[in-house]
Amino acid sequence: MLIAAKDLALGYSGVPAAWDIAFDLRAGEALALIGPNGSGKTTLLRAVLGDVRILSGALEVGARTIGYVPQNADLDPTFPVSAREVVTMGLYGELGWGSRPGRAHRARVEEALERVGMAERASMRFGRLSGGQRQRILVARALVARPQLILMDEPFNGLDQPNRDSLVSIVRQATADGVGVVVSTHDLALAHLTCARACLLSGRQIAFGPVDEVLTEGLLAQAYGAGNDALTGAVP
């Protein structure tokens, strides 16, 4: 089991931000976190990373290596670094800061760039890439560490259709390779395309289970309110 949560409550300074959380994730599975802004999606991802305090309940993380794709690029686009160098940063946890990657590690960087379709732009300045291309580089940075688990915070936001399609393929390939993936998203259509199960949040957890059983009109109305237009994608 990569993640197992039971009766979990998370918060900041003792104030709950997400509660009544109970779900699990196994290797080779993809889980969608669905909910409005402020519903606890990012808080839950950060808790898996160990960055948020557990107020009550249990959160067990069995993955030894975790890749994280943030909602917004965590690099200053004016910083003079190439796409290849950004992907290489994903190895720092393994190599240590200041260590030069050897031949095998450099090969892993090139492999990660190939997997996200960015090998031809590897030498370009990160800041000169489009938003979708930068997102794919951040995914490659997560993949290069060969993680057992990847956490993706709103990875589809602002992407054009080709980059969205590319990211769907990347998630599917990761799960086919046995990697567990957690995707935070508002896009219901993409949740259906990439994930078998979903966890619906609105501060408290509303539902967890197969996507078709969780992303229903009635349950979504509990999370977002009836008639809310913040969602993307058709409700089944």
The tens digit of pLDDT for each residue in 180-225 reads 999 999 889 999 999 999 999 999 999 999 999 999 999 999 999 8
pTM, to two decimals:
0.92
Share of the chain above pLDDT 70, in %: 94
User: What would the mean pLDDT of 11-20 be, rounded to a whole number?
Assistant: 94
pLDDT digits 0-9 by tens, 30-70: 999 999 999 999 999 999 999 999 999 999 999 999 999 99
**Is residue 96's pLDDT more than 80?**
no
- Give CA–CA dist 157/159, Å, rounded: 6
Q: Which residues of 64-75 are buried (b: 16+ CB within 10 A; e: fewer)?
A: eebbbbbeebeb
Amino acid at 28: G
Please give the residue that has the higher pLDDT: either 37 or 99.
Answer: 37
Query: What architecture is domain 1-64+148-236?
Result: 3-Layer(aba) Sandwich (3.40)
**Is residue 98's pLDDT more than 80?**
no
Share of the chain above pLDDT 90, in %: 77
Contact assessment for residue 17 and residue 28, using Cβ atoms and an 8 Å cutoff: no
Structure tokens at 94: 């393994």
pLDDT digits 0-9 by tens, 148-176: 999 999 998 888 888 889 999 999 999 99
**Is residue 229's pLDDT more than 80?**
no
Neighbours of 81 (CB within 10 A): 16
Contact partners, residue 179, CB within 8 Å, separation at least 6: 27, 28, 147, 148, 149, 150
Neighbours of 1 (CB within 10 A): 12
* pLDDT score recorded for residue 112: 96
* pLDDT score recorded for residue 236: 46
Q: Is the dihedral of CA 215, 48, 176, 153 positive or negative?
A: positive
* pLDDT score recorded for residue 202: 96
pLDDT band at residue 231 under the 50/70/90 scheme: low
Q: Of 78, 210, 69, 217, nearest to 143 (Cα)? A: 69
- Give CA–CA dist 183/56, Å, rounded: 24
The chain-wide mean pLDDT, for the chain, equals 92
Contact assessment for residue 213 and residue 60, using Cβ atoms and an 8 Å cutoff: no
User: What would the mean pLDDT of 9-19 be, rounded to a whole number?
Assistant: 94
> What are the extents of the domains in the chain?
1-64+148-236, 77-147
* pLDDT score recorded for residue 41: 96
